[in-house]
């Protein structure tokens, strides 16, 4: 069965966490908004407002699984993890991986808000003074706190080098993506912080070398980072 | 087996979503920070920094389940839902409930940020101009959007009156809590918006009448809303 992913066709955004899991698993999927003729921006709204098939979703990404829609990034990964060997088998082990993913989701929300501290209904240009303050707090306080947490988790499981258990899970893929995005958005702060988080840096490199991920990153399917996504490089937010 | 909940002892906060599930289920639990001698603010940090038992967590709430720690509110509810009849049995049905919970989590994050748009490392008093802008956008755009979404979900399942399937799930309990909190924080905006969301209002009333919840709300265990939690009433943010 082929999956069908509904997400914005010109950004990595939250959809990228799903794309990475699908690519790592070698799953058969279609990226509905990206057609041979170019980006189809209507695909997302058609699925959000049709109510068919399945129940509605608040926002993309949405994954069509044999006619049933699943939304919320971490929730989609919960499903894919169980069906594609990207999560352990036991209930408590699965909850641990999901806990890591939800912590990453909180981090991603804070990264997004460095350029949108007032609200998603406004452009970045309309909230620049607030963004300067929020980005400073993020660089100085939140970035080291989140990175340090994942460094500690990885140090605890240093024998395997993965976040949980002895195999790669969707949380590892997601941590890779956050490191990628942060290196793009805050290169100076990341260079400084990564000096203290060698396990995180090593995990990033290891995920990049997974066969499915390496092939994906080298392909045209990987959309470059840009200033419409979650991870944006605005020099003025670098401090 | 008695659960042990680690959360800040003087606020509802994110821990309240867990408390409501435990109370609705009639589960045996101890609220570790709330002792007969008064609030123990150290309980949370002891569990976060001990690393024992079980793996570390980034932030509270944390639930000790027979010596194993589970964190992240929605993740704890995923566990409690499965073990206490607060979620349906089928995989896709459970994911739907979890999707609703994660959407509520996003909403709660936005509510929190109405008074903390610059960052959690600063007091509200140090980010008031930014909070005025963020709260305005929340009242005008995000509040009707989230409420309207849940109204639509409830209208789709009007036959049962619950968000998912034919029984109360943890997502219903959480939606109740968000309505309670918003009525406290933004009473004028909520009175206006709830006029258009009768299914949401009815769901709120129905949860309040569940035996476990009614008993809890009438007890001293329910901490009143205050200006240290997520839902804060600041008249200046009402517009």
Mean pLDDT of chain A: 95
pLDDT of residue A32: 95
Q: What is the mean pLDDT of residues B101-114?
A: 98
| Chain position carrying tokens 């988080």 | A197
Residues A216-229: pLDDT tens digits?
999 999 999 999 99
The first and second tokens of residue A49, run together, are: 């407002």
For residue A156, the chain B residue with the least C-alpha distance is B55
Q: Residue A51 has what pLDDT? A: 64
B56 pLDDT band (50/70/90 cuts)?
A: confident
pLDDT at B120: 93
pLDDT digits (tens, 9 = 90+) for B196-223: 999 999 999 999 999 999 999 999 999 9
Report the pLDDT value the prediction gives residue B105, as an integer from 0 to 100. 98
Query: A49 and chain B: CB distance < 8 Å anywhere?
Result: no
**A72 vs B103: CB contact, 8 Å cut-off?**
yes
Q: What pTM did the predictor assign?
A: 0.97
Least confident of A39-53, B105-119, B133-147: A39-53
* pLDDT attached to residue A52: 57
- For residue B94, which residues of chain A lie inside 8 Å, CB to CB? none
Q: What is the pLDDT of residues B135-155, one digit of tens each?
A: 999 999 999 999 999 999 999
pLDDT above 60 (res B45): yes
The alpha-carbon gap from B130 to the nearest alpha carbon of chain A, in Å, equals: 7
Does B58 have pLDDT greater than 90? Answer: yes
**In chain B, alpha helices (H):** 15-25, 42-50, 73-83, 91-115, 128-137, 143-156, 170-185, 187-194, 198-208, 211-217
Of A58, A79, A102, the CB nearest to B75: A102
Question: What chain B residue is nearest to A152 in terms of C-alpha separation?
Answer: B56
Peptide bond into A61 cis (omega under 30): yes
**Residue A137 C-alpha, separation from nearest chain B C-alpha, in angstroms:** 6
Report residue B50's pLDDT band, with 50, 70 and 90 as the boundaries: confident
- Give the pairing type, strands B29-31 and A38-39: unpaired
User: B137 vs A152: CB contact, 8 Å cut-off?
Assistant: no
The conformation of residue B160, written as its DSSP 8-state character, comes to: T
Q: What is the mean pLDDT of residues A7-14?
A: 97
Determine the residue among B82, B96, B114 to mutate to test chain A binding: the one whose Cβ has the most chain A Cβ atoms within 10 Å: B96
Which residues 130-189 of B are in CB contact (within 8 Å) with A?
Answer: 130, 133-134, 137-138, 141-142, 146, 149, 152-153, 156
Give helix A128-137 / helix A91-115 axis angle, nearest 10°: 140
Per-residue model confidence as pLDDT tens digits over A135-187: 999 999 999 999 999 999 999 988 899 999 999 999 999 999 999 999 999 99
Please state the ipTM of this predicted complex.
Answer: 0.97
Q: Are A102 and A111 in contact (CB under 8 A)?
A: no
Instruction: Reply yes or no on whether the pLDDT at A71 is more than 70.
Output: yes
Is 60 exceeded by the pLDDT of residue B54?
A: no
Identify the structural domains of chain A with CATH numbers, from first to last. Answer: 91-210 (1.20.1050.10)
The reported pLDDT for the residue numbered A158 is 85
Q: Tell me which H or E stretch contains B4.
A: strand B3-6
Q: Which of B96, B102, B127 sits opposite A55 (nearest CB)?
A: B96
Instruction: Answer yes or no: is pLDDT of A39 > 80.
Output: yes
């Amino acid at each position: 069965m082929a999956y069908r992913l509904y997400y914005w066709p010109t950004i990595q955004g939250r959809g990228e966490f799903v794309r990475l899991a699908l690519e790592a698993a070698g799953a058969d999927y279609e990226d509905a908004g990206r057609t041979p003729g170019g980006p189809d921006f209507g695909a997302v709204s058609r699925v959000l407002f049709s109510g068919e098939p399945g129940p509605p979703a608040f926002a993309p990404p949405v994954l069509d699984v044999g006619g049933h829609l699943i939304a919320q990034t971490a929730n989609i990964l919960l499903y894919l993890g169980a069906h594609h060997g990207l999560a352990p088998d036991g209930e408590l082990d699965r909850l641990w991986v999901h806990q890591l993913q939800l912590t990453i989701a909180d981090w991603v929300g804070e990264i997004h808000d460095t350029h949108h501290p007032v609200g998603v209904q406004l452009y970045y240009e309309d909230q620049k003074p607030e963004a300067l303050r929020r980005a400073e707090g993020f660089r100085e306080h939140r970035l080291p706190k989140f990175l340090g947490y994942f460094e500690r988790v990885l140090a605890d499981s240093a024998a395997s080098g993965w976040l949980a258990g002895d195999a790669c899970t969707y949380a590892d893929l997601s941590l890779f993506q956050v490191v990628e995005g942060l290196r793009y958005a805050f290169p100076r702060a990341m260079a400084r912080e990564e000096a203290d988080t060698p396990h995180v840096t090593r995990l990033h490199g290891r995920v990049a070398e997974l066969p499915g991920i390496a092939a994906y990153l080298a392909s045209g399917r990987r959309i470059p980072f840009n200033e419409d996504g979650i991870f944006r490089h605005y020099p003025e937010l670098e401090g």
